[in-house]
Amino acid sequence: MKEIKNYEEHTTRYILETVGDVDNFNNEIYRGQELQAEHTMPLIREVLASNLDLVVSLSIKTEEGYKPMIIKSRIKGISSNSNTCALLYHKEDLYTPLALIGYNTVSYRYVLRNKAIKRGGEERDYWDASLKESKHLKIIMRALGQTMSQIVPKPQAFLSVLLEKCEGYRYSQMNKYVEGKEISAISADEIQHMINSGYEPTPHSLLARVIDNYRDNFDVYDSAKKYSPMVYHARRIDSSDDLYIAKLKYPSWADTEGSTMSDSSVVRKYLIDNPMKEVRYNHADIPKYIEQSIAMLDLKSSTSNSTSSYIEGMGIKINNNRYWIIDENNEVNPDV
């Protein structure tokens, strides 16, 4: 159990990381004045026993002449009897709440609220519910999992726009051997099969020029087919110059069987086999290549009517909060 003293005036913040921390908190801090806090402890235990990377934060206010008191927040729009006494955070970011939890002393139900998650000015939707006891823990975990997926990137959610841009670049490279739009639908595999089979088209025909160009530019085509740079997902942190950075090896043509859809089964399998993990980087430790790329993407977006911008070979700015940085020459390689 961590203590962050003077978090606010006369206030100590306690970070519970394990189920055992709940008992320590009860024994050392809690004195039974707050019914909501008392009844919420079983839910807090279950949350900490889950597989999610969550911690629970409770704040105690201690003023001279008063008993120590757990700070509570009234929840608007649910019930006048519902208060929250704890906040949930991702363990690597203790300053952006994921959800509020509490207890309704009239309906005897837990309260879970994933309220207006903000990052870099980006506001999330509301999600409210009054939930029953432990048998509904799966619902609670699902709600929290959905919230966390907005914070810790699931590659499918952000890869679509990157696929669109990178695949456009890949296609432009691979199609260098193709002349004539009317036969652009012929796949490279079919052309390779023709060549391997000894097929010789009529001299000077359009198809003959396509096959000749394929032979002449095979190295260009083959390298484009193997195109798989390292890319980094960078996420700004509200009220901080630090960044969360996660890296992903961009899927090659062979890795995804040529699929350009981020929700396709082969892409999903690739992403499952190559998971992303965020690491927080202090401003001074952010790799220069990433910082320079973000600055260039910000500069480009400032000259356009859209918050998103793309620079070939460098990356794409998705919004004011998130970026994909393309590292074709493996210049970065931070330990994330």
- Is it the case that residue 257 has pLDDT exceeding 90? no
Partners of 316 in beta bridges = 310, 324
pLDDT of 161 over the 70 cut: yes
pLDDT higher than 50, residue 313: yes
Give pLDDT, residue 73: 64
State percent of the chain over pLDDT 70.
Answer: 71
What are the domain boundaries of the chain?
2-151, 153-336
Q: What is the pLDDT of residue 230?
A: 92
Query: What does pLDDT average to over the chain?
Result: 76
Q: Specify the higher pLDDT residue, 207 or 313.
A: 313
Higher pLDDT, 46 or 335: 46
Question: Is the pLDDT confidence value at 42 over 70?
Answer: yes
Could you tell me the two tokens for 94? Answer: 């203790």
Closest CA to 78 of 40, 115, 34: 115
Can you state the percent helix, strand and coil of the chain, rounding each to 5? 35, 25, 40
Which pLDDT does position 231 carry in this prediction? 92
According to the model, what pLDDT value does residue 183 have? Answer: 57
H or E element, residue 90: strand 82-90
Q: What's the pLDDT at 295?
A: 93
Find the Cα–Cα–Cα–Cα dihedral 115, 36, 38, 84, rounded to 10°: 20
Token pair belonging to 298: 């910000």
pLDDT tens figures, 46-103: 788 876 778 999 888 877 777 777 777 655 544 555 567 888 887 777 776 777 777 7
Question: Using CB atoms within 10 A of its CB, is residue 125 exposed (0-12), middle (13-18) or buried (19+)?
Answer: exposed
**Of 2-11, 184-193, 204-213, 225-234, which one has max mean pLDDT?**
225-234
Q: What angle do CA 44, 275, 320 make, to 5 degrees?
A: 80
Q: How many CB atoms lie within 10 A of CB 241?
A: 12
Summarised one tens digit per residue, pLDDT across range 120-155 is 334 343 344 444 444 556 666 666 666 666 666 667
Q: What is the pTM of this model?
A: 0.56
Name the burial class of residue 22, with classes exposed (0-12), middle (13-18) and buried (19+) by CB atoms within 10 angstroms of its CB: buried
Average confidence (pLDDT) over 193-213: 79
pLDDT tens figures, 169-184: 887 777 776 665 555 5
